[in-house]
Structure 1
């Protein structure tokens, strides 16, 4: 009888240990604890999207509004920040493959993306604005798109929106927005559709080349994207963003990169 009781107790202990993983499973699934233990937060970016995130040609460093925010969040969380550039059309697959911990790279929050990702609250609003050459007087809205070649970045919501429009001669997709605006400048496309702050940055740095049309295709909330299970890291990141807004850091960075405080009440 004693042998049987001992065997039963042993089986129960093994079962409990297998279910709890000796108490380690909760630690391994805690995304915030994982990052803090590593001492570094790895962030996926598409560094071809000025002024949000781009590679400075002179220094080789990653710069931009998102870069500055991510570095500020890293300080709040007490960890270093490492940026990993990735082509936009594969950036969500790279996150799923754990190439990085999160994506802060002008990610529009959409219902489709929320099926596989979790997000912070929006920290800026973008969308699909229309940019043309400064001397273009014939293209005034998307109603003038039929028969035209329109440029956008591959894998973005702009590609999705343009794909639903009829009559376009072609939708030219680019890996880098820098190439899209270069083609627009050289007349290879009639217009480029992208986030308004991206096109506005070109108008600041290269005045007189482009203009933004009054009409736009969509307005979209932008947030930081995480894998579905990484709620503790997302929550801590979201709190840090709120703190950075409250202490005026986001306003300061807005003025630095956009020339205005987009957070002013």
Structure 2
């Protein structure tokens, strides 16, 4: 009888220890992502810093732009410093999942396909795929005129996906740097560049009389901050900070600074 009681107590003790260990492991594996960032004191922001006016390097090699300023304001709201981590666009999503940074703020279009593997904030701005040609080019009026032409876009962008569905294009030239695409457009090496309207408009304003935007727009896309699928608390903290910045007028100021008007007025 004593042996049976002893065996039962032993089994119960072992069960408690196993359960306790599992609970601790589950707790540590589901660590709150927002708390983790706050404890570290730094929000790591990944971006491909070659996409003016959203994020780019100025003459002094400083990373500047609309999303750079926005990231810093978000950091203030969260009570942490912001560290920008430069990453090539074509590997930026893999780098996020490899925990190279906590969030991507790099003009990321929110698509159904990307939602399968990432969490997104609400739209920060609305971009899409506008078409820019060289001033004086009256041959191209819409995507119907693309057959037989060389069209440029950023490698790995939604613009590349859109262009791949248009038949007859002579070549889709993919660039790692959007400024290089506009330089090739300027020199006549390509017939058009497909890119976000705020980016193309930036170049049109920077070099007046060199580029023009066609009336056609291939797509209109929401752009947001991207997070790892499990980092819901960090996404929610980001969204709360963003909403506060919109309410207190900070976003309006940043918009006027980089775009010349308040995109949030409506």
TM-score in terms of structure 1 length: 0.96
Partner of 2:54: 52
Q: Are 2:141 and 1:163 aligned?
A: no
Distance 1:87 1:127 in 2: 20
| Distance of 1:92 and 1:24 partners within structure 2 | 26
Paired position in structure 2 for 1:251: 252
Matched, 1:85 2:83: no
Shift of 1:90: 0.7
Partner residue of 1:34? 36
Structure 2 distance, partners of 1:236, 1:261, is 24
For residues 32-80 of structure 1, the C-alpha deviation after alignment (integer angstroms, 9 at most, x for no partner) is 0111111000011000100000011x22211000000010000000000
Structure 1, gaps ≥5 residues long:
none
The aligned residue for residue 14 of structure 1 is 17
Secondary structure (helix, strand or coil) at the match of 1:135 reads coil
For the residue of structure 1 that corresponds to 2:264, the secondary structure is coil
- Tell me whether 1:98 sits opposite 2:107 in the alignment: no
Residue 192 of structure 2 corresponds to 191
Provide closer, same or farther for how the CA distance between residues 131 and 20 of structure 1 changes in structure 2, counting only shifts above 3 A. same
Query: In the alignment, which residue of structure 1 is the partner of 2:239?
Result: 238
CA apart distance, 1:135: 1.5
Q: TM-score normalised to the size of structure 2?
A: 0.96
Cα deviation for residue 264 of structure 1 reads 0.7
> Which structure has the bigger radius of gyration?
2
Q: Which residue in the other structure is 1:204 paired with?
A: 205
Residue 6 of structure 2 is matched in structure 1 by 3
**SS of residue matched to 1:132:** strand
Ranges of 4+ aligned residues in structure 1 off by more than 6 Å: none
Aligned residues: 263
Q: Superposition RMSD on alpha carbons, in Å?
A: 1.2
